[in-house]
Structure 1
């Protein structure tokens, strides 16, 4: 009987320790989404003080932050959409795929052809209201590098609004974070393993 009790305690200890180990492993390997920021944005065609406003482009600087200290991020091509008043699509641009190391911040400075902006209406709205709004939508797929391998890819879509003033530049001096309501990515195998171990433990 004593042997049976020792065996039960040993089994209990093994299952409990395995469950804790699986939980800590899952927490340590669980990736978090990188953050997208509009660090700067200007529309030269809406600079009311300029003598010439023939530059129909949107100039922008995007920041991408990987806050994970132990995981890299592989980005697919990043699709950027620009919308006047957050509804009318006026420009699109694609940033090429790249890899981002642990805890790194990447910056991309580029320009998008914004011929679709209703320039006369935008200048009138800017003159009357002191600002106009541009929506920015970003979409890509990301893979997380954990040690020597990459996870499967996850869709990532974020969005935000930028107020542009009479100078044609972003009014908010701070970087604007693009947000998403999508759930955090997770590792299905680790989740399944943790659930199995804890189910076995409670049984």
Structure 2
């Protein structure tokens, strides 16, 4: 008699293997990467010792936002940027909101703004600069949705920031170097979420339920 049990086993293994490959390909096509966020310029005329008389307390800045996804667009909600004149975030000197926008596949965007940093303690910051440099903090917060073919994902919150050393010219110490805005907690959560998501999808396709 033919070994029907062996053939059935091979058929089941082949079916499970095919489902596993399908889950893998779906995960690869649906997974997303967070935009890369950088501060590429900051300038405060009031701290620029080369100006005589010193400039006003307007703070100018530029962000560089990069969509690292090859085949997914990014819809940004309004982008809120806040500056502090110390790394402890206990003294905000002002903020600016960049209007919402769309960014295509692998596209880069430069978004800037300016505001009156009226909360800046010029005397204290100038003393720090005279001893080397003043340490500022910049935070960026927004939510994004990813466009995958004809549909959009749910909103993903982004909260990133970085410390910036300000020189006696009112700019970052190395003005030609872009400063990456990042968050270790966000990176861990993103990696964990993607891993759990891919495993959940895999078992859903095989067993039909979680």
Same fold (TM over 0.5): yes
Establish whether residue 116 from structure 1 lines up as the match of residue 119 from structure 2.
yes
Secondary structure (helix, strand or coil) at the match of 2:32 reads coil
By relative contact order (CA 8 Å, sep 6+), the higher-ranking structure is 1
**CA shift at 1:197, angstroms?**
4.1
Output the CA distance in 1 between the equivalents of 2:70 and 2:204: 29
Q: Judge conservation of contact 1:15–1:197 (CA < 8 Å) in 2.
A: no
Counterpart of 1:46 in structure 2 is: 47
Secondary structure (helix, strand or coil) at the match of 1:152 reads coil
Output the CA distance in 2 between the equivalents of 1:39 and 1:162: 11
Matches within 5 A, 1:15-34: 15-34=16-35
Counterpart of 2:153 in structure 1 is: 151
Residue ranges of structure 2 left out of the alignment (5+ in a row): none
Q: Judge conservation of contact 1:30–1:187 (CA < 8 Å) in 2.
A: no
Superposition RMSD in Å: 2.0
**CA shift at 1:122, angstroms?**
1.4
Cα separation, partners in 2 of 1:191 and 1:76, compared to 1, 3 Å: farther
Establish whether residue 163 from structure 1 lines up as the match of residue 165 from structure 2.
yes
TM-score (norm 1): 0.90
Output the CA distance in 2 between the equivalents of 1:187 and 1:148: 25
**CA shift at 1:28, angstroms?**
2.6
Output the CA distance in 2 between the equivalents of 1:85 and 1:106: 28
Q: Which moved more, 1:64-73 or 1:187-196?
A: 187-196
Structure 1 runs (4+) greater than 6 angstroms displaced: none
